[in-house]
Amino acid sequence: MTDKELTDPHAGAKDIEDHIGPDATLLIVDDDGPFLRRLARAMETRGFAVDTAESVAEGVAKSKTNPPKYAVVDLRLGDGTGLDVIEAIRQRRDDTHIVVLTGYGNIATAVTAVKLGALDYLAKPADADDVYAALTQRPGEKAEVPENPMSADRVRWEHIQRVYEMCERNVSETARRLNMHRRTLQRILAKRAPK
């Protein structure tokens, strides 16, 4: 996140209340500590009352004791899936605006997240402006089409990641399903995601 993203994009309290509303509680659940802290600071400067959690267990516990009006939930967490946190929030509160973040694209999981009540689905690294826009999006508003669509290399990488996750991170099974040599797959998985 840049310094620009950490500044408040709104001039005053009236503007903040118009966008966020009187209940500004926001729960951010992500196991990437530095990202979590940066996003929390950025959302606080935008007027949210932020609470954070670094695990499914912590996110579920905080959702049960104080269900937030807004939530940003990472899909893959060290102790499980963010879908459990979404379910816990929905059991206590049905008007929460939920945005799901993930480091890999998975259409099936995105559909599940939306069925459970997520408003939007953003790929990491999402910046604070994207998260803010998704959280404050009004019903019926359409998300803007990205200026830079994914490259063919990125689409291929996302597909490989999806199959890898479906195979529970088993390299041999993933290589078999993709009809790919195991070593080739290991090299692809060891690289960073293409732009």
Residues 94 and 161 in one domain: no
> How distant is the alpha carbon of residue 12 from its chain centre?
28
50 and 123 both lie in a single domain: yes
Q: What is the pLDDT of residue 5?
A: 41
Predicted confidence at residue 56, as pLDDT, reads 93
pLDDT of amino acid 143: 54
pLDDT (0 to 100) of residue 113: 76
Residuewise pLDDT in 10s, the chain (195 residues): 444 444 444 444 444 556 688 888 999 999 888 889 999 999 999 999 999 999 999 999 999 999 999 999 988 888 888 889 999 999 999 888 999 887 655 566 667 777 777 877 787 767 888 889 888 877 655 555 556 666 777 778 778 887 887 888 899 999 999 999 999 999 888 887 676
Same domain, 157 and 84: no
Residue the block writes with tokens 């516990």: 61
pLDDT of amino acid 142 = 56
Tell me, yes or no, whether 121 lies in a domain: yes
Letter for the amino acid at 88? Answer: A
Q: CA-CA distances (angstroms) from residue 183 to 95, 164, 174, 175?
A: 47, 14, 11, 9
Please check whether residue 141 lies inside any domain of the structure.
Answer: no
Residue 15 domain flag: no
Query: Is residue 13 assigned to a domain?
Result: no
Peptide bond into 125 cis (omega under 30): yes
Secondary element (H or E) of residue 123: strand 118-123
- Structural domain boundaries enclosing 101: 21-136
6, part of any domain: no
Distance CA 114, CA 110 (A): 6
| pLDDT at residue 7, as a whole number | 44
Helices 182-190 and 152-166 pack at an angle, to 10 degrees, of 110
Q: What is the CATH number of the domain that holds 182?
A: 1.10.10.60
CATH number reported for the structural domain that contains residue 119 in this entry: 3.40.50.2300
> Which pLDDT belongs to residue 127?
81
**120 in the same domain as 76:** yes
Tell me how far apart the 2 most distant CA atoms of the chain are, in Å.
59
Q: Which amino acid, 4?
A: K
What are the CB-based long-range contacts (under 8 Å, 24+) for 174-182?
none
Cβ–Cβ under 8 Å, residues 15 and 26: no
Report pLDDT for 2: 42
